[in-house]
Structures are given as structure tokens and as C-alpha cells.
Amino acid sequence: MPFLFCATRMCECAGDGPEKRVLHVFTLSWYYGVVYHIAMEIILLILYLLSLIGPRFILPALGLHGALIVQTALHYGRIPLIGMRDTLGFLAFAIGVVYVLSGWKRKRDLFTFVTVPLVLLFLLGSRVSPPAMPGPLPPVLNTIWFELHVILSFVAYALFAIGAIFGMLALSRDEPSAEANQYRSLLLGYVLFSIAMIFGGIWAYYAWGTYWLWTPKELWTTIVWFFYSLYLHARLVRGWTGPKVIWMGIIGFAIVLFTYAGVGLLMKSSHEF
């Protein structure tokens, strides 16, 4: 192992005193920590891949994924929802949880073959994204309103994702109940997203003294909310059913993805994600 050889040489150069022992312990601890995290991520990836063969493998995958999130939270002393790396990983986990809750009795079908690759895509995106800042939250983020805002937002995103997948099933005409399942997922996502926006406004007031900053992220978040409001209006008030309203649910998730990732990459905003 080249790294271990280098670490040993460093320790030898440090002399025979306490400095050598401290450096040796620190270096080995860091080395084994890296190996541990790589091993856990490989196991997690394998378990999610096995879910494509047997959907029940999603349970140990989610158990390990949730444990890693909790471990990261305990290590940093904060919720791991800062930056693209943290939030992509949490979004993958949340989609997996909603998948289990909404499709536990399902057999291996298109629902699994679309959802699990989406989880894997976000998980891999998390691993290639820059690491988040270490340590606790800065004062501007160190409030329960921020934590509730972010957690509920990404749970809502997961519900919007599952709603879009149910829309794909409905368009394939292989499942008569898919349109109703899409509606239930999007309705719950809409409620949670609305609450998240309220908590976000409260957080903004405590952080910057105003409920609204007119940033691109806030404007596109409002577009997401209005779009799903339009979807619910079309379905509940206008009585729309069929492909038109189903496509609205699918397009809505595309807008969510742009709001989440595209705005941060293409526009200057106070939000990192």
C-alpha cells in the first residue's frame, strides 16, 4: 500500500519521541477512516444495484444509507444538508424511502427500474460533488427554521420525483391506478413544500431581516409552487384527467430539478443548492 509506506516513512522522519507516535496514530487513523468510508459507499452502491434484482434489497440499502447520514451528522455536529454533496445524497435516500412506502407490495416492474436508477444517479452525483464545509453550521444557518426548511423541501422533492415516475407508468397504460398514485404523491409533496416555504421565510427573516430576497432561487421556488398549484387546480377544480394532467406532473419534476441544480449552477444566488 503506497500510502501506508509513505506514512511509515513520515513517522520515521519524525524521530523517536512523542511526535513520532502522535503522527503515526493520526496518519493511521486518517488512513483507516478513508478506507472505511470507501468500503461503506461501495457496499451501499452494491445494495442499491441488487434492488434492481430483488426490490427487498432496498431495505438494507436504506438502513446503511440512513446510518451513514446519521454518522455524518454526529461527526459534524449538524444535519448533513449543506451543498450539493450532502443534499444529493439525502435526496437519493428520501426517494428510496418514498419508493418503499409507496411500492412495498409491488413486484419488480417499471416502477423499480426507473426509481432505483434515479436513486443511483443522485447518489453518484453526490459522490462526485465537492465536499461540504466541515464543522458545525455557521450562525446564519444555525436555526431550527433552516433545518426544517431544508428537510421538508427535499422530502417534497422526493415525492415530486415519485409522482413523476407514477406519471410515466400512467402514460404506459400498464397500471390503471398510476394516475391516482401520482396525484396522491404530488398532493402530499405540495403540502410539505408549502410548509417548507413558510419555514424558509421565517429563517430568512431571522437571518437577513426580511422574508423575501428576490434571488433567482426564491423566484424559481415560487415557480415550482405555482406550477404544482396549477396542477392541483386543473385536477380538482377543472376536473382534468388523462395525459394532459399526467404530463403536468412529469414536467413539474423537471422544473424542480432545474430549480435545485440548474439555478445554482447557472445563476448567482444566496443558495448553494
Which whole number is the average pLDDT over 195-210? 91
Residues 71 and 185 in one domain: yes
Q: Are residues 170 and 61 in the same domain?
A: yes
56 and 43 in a common domain? no
Q: Are 57 and 129 part of one and the same domain?
A: yes
Residues 24 and 63 in one domain: no
Q: Rounded distance, CA 91 to CA 129, Å?
A: 14
Higher per-residue confidence, 233 vs 77: 233
Given this model, what pLDDT does residue 37 score?
A: 73
Q: Quick one: 136 and 204 in the same domain?
A: yes
Tell me which residue of 197, 191, 187, 192 sits closest to 223, measured CA to CA. Answer: 197
- The per-residue pLDDT for 29 is 61
- Could you tell me if residue 271 is inside a domain? no
Taking CA atoms, 254 is separated from 110, 183, 260, in Å, by 19, 17, 10
Number of domains composing the chain:
2
Task: Clarify whether residues 175 and 224 are in a common domain.
Answer: yes
Q: Are residues 83 and 206 in the same domain?
A: yes
- Position 175 scores a pLDDT of 82
Q: pLDDT above 90 covers what percent of the chain?
A: 56
| pLDDT digits 0-9 by tens, 218-242 | 899 999 999 999 999 999 999 999 9
272 within a domain of the structure (yes/no): no
Clarify whether residues 121 and 12 are in a common domain. no
The pTM (predicted TM-score) of the whole model is 0.86
Higher pLDDT, 10 or 84: 84
202 is a domain residue: yes
Residue 22 lies in a domain: yes
Query: Is residue 61 domain-shared with residue 6, that is, in the same domain?
Result: no
Boundaries of domain holding 253: 51-266
Is the confidence at residue 270, as pLDDT, over 60?
Answer: no
Q: Could you read off the pLDDT of 19-62 as tens digits, one per residue?
A: 665 555 556 665 666 677 788 889 999 999 999 998 889 999 99
